[in-house]
Amino acid sequence: EAQVTQNPRYLITVTGKKLTVTCSQNMNHEYMSWYRQDPGLGLRQIYYSMNVEVTDKGDVPEGYKVSRKEKRNFPLILESPSPNQTSLYFCASKQGSTDTQYFGPGTRLTVL
Amino acid sequence: DQQVKQNSPSLSVQEGRISILNCDYTNSMFDYFLWYKKYPAEGPTFLISISSIKDKNEDGRFTVFLNKSAKHLSLHIVPSQPGDSAVYFCAAGPSGTYKYIFGTGTRLKVLA
């Protein structure tokens, strides 16, 4: 089954404790992206990657890092999480030339 | 400044009637537009798209209309069904882009 998986689905952590949210897709997609969803703000893009070792900033990259060492994986790293990073995070992937972006189920992060 | 706006946070419609969801954009470079549907505890799923060379695109009960001069698009659902109850996001960007800007979403409730 074609899918995008994220782990963990739920995470409660404390300020400053480094964490990684993993994202994996099994569709051999070139493009992957991370979004956060906040009330009244919709979905905002954090980072995206057009292929292995190619990443670029989205609209709200501050406080986040990403890496793309393999085509299937695109982890999101919060080196020093802060409460304003409490949000619902979505990973997505798509083939380069198509418009259908497949989203993962989301990771709800709470930073205390 | 929000480049993609969905001014109605919520909409209630009777089953069988038409649902009309609206979206406005400000960037004239945007020429590709998409609608996504999101159920609770799931990631958004692609619904329908339209490019600026067209002013209408249909897929079953879903039709998207684009008014380029007004920088406005709308999603029509006819007839509406209870299973259509979800949050609907519009997204826009230059064609072939990897950076779509999402609106804040409209929560549609279809009443049985």
State pLDDT tens for residues B57-97. Answer: 999 999 999 999 999 999 999 999 999 999 999 999 888 77
d(CA A28, CA B33): 24
Mean pLDDT across A63-78:
97
Mean pLDDT across B92-106:
87
Considering only the beta carbons, identify the residue of A31, A50, A106 that sits closest to B43.
A106
Instruction: Please report the sign of the dihedral spanned by the C-alpha atoms of residue B3, residue A3, residue A5, residue A52.
Output: negative
State pLDDT tens for residues A7-23. Answer: 999 999 999 999 999 99
Mean pLDDT across A14-39:
95
Token pair 């779509």 is found at B100
3-state secondary structure of B73: strand
Confidence at residue A107, expressed as pLDDT on a 0 to 100 scale: 98
Q: Is the predicted pLDDT of residue A98 greater than 70, yes or no? A: no
Q: Is B39 on the interface with A (CB under 8 A)?
A: no
State pLDDT tens for residues B31-67. Answer: 999 999 999 989 999 999 999 999 999 999 999 999 9
d(CA B110, CA B14): 6
Residues from chain A that touch B89, judged by Cβ atoms under 8 A, are 42-43
Q: Is the predicted pLDDT of residue B98 greater than 90, yes or no? A: no
Cis peptide leading into residue B79 (ω within 30°): yes
Q: Is A4 on the interface with B (CB under 8 A)?
A: yes
Mean pLDDT across A23-34:
95
Q: Taking the CB of residue A12, how many other CB atoms lie within 10 A of it?
A: 11
Residues from chain A that touch B98, judged by Cβ atoms under 8 A, are 31, 33, 48, 50, 56
Mean pLDDT across A103-112:
97
Is A106 close to B6, i.e. CB distance below 8 A?
A: no
Considering only the beta carbons, identify the residue of A48, A97, A99 that sits closest to B34.
A99
Confidence at residue B4, expressed as pLDDT on a 0 to 100 scale: 95
Confidence at residue A78, expressed as pLDDT on a 0 to 100 scale: 97
Provide the token pair at B62. 């879903």
d(CA B48, CA A57): 26
Confidence at residue B100, expressed as pLDDT on a 0 to 100 scale: 86
- The residues, any chain, with a CB within 8 Å of residue A10's CB and separated by 6 or more, are A107, A108
Q: Is A32 on the interface with B (CB under 8 A)?
A: no
User: With DSSP H G I counted as helix, E B as strand and the rest as coil, what are the percentages for chain B, rounded to 5?
Assistant: 5, 55, 45
Confidence at residue A14, expressed as pLDDT on a 0 to 100 scale: 96
Render A24-60 in DSSP notation, one character per residue.
Answer: EESS--SEEEEEEEETTTEEEEEEEEEETTEEEE-S-
Confidence at residue A99, expressed as pLDDT on a 0 to 100 scale: 66
3-state secondary structure of B76: strand
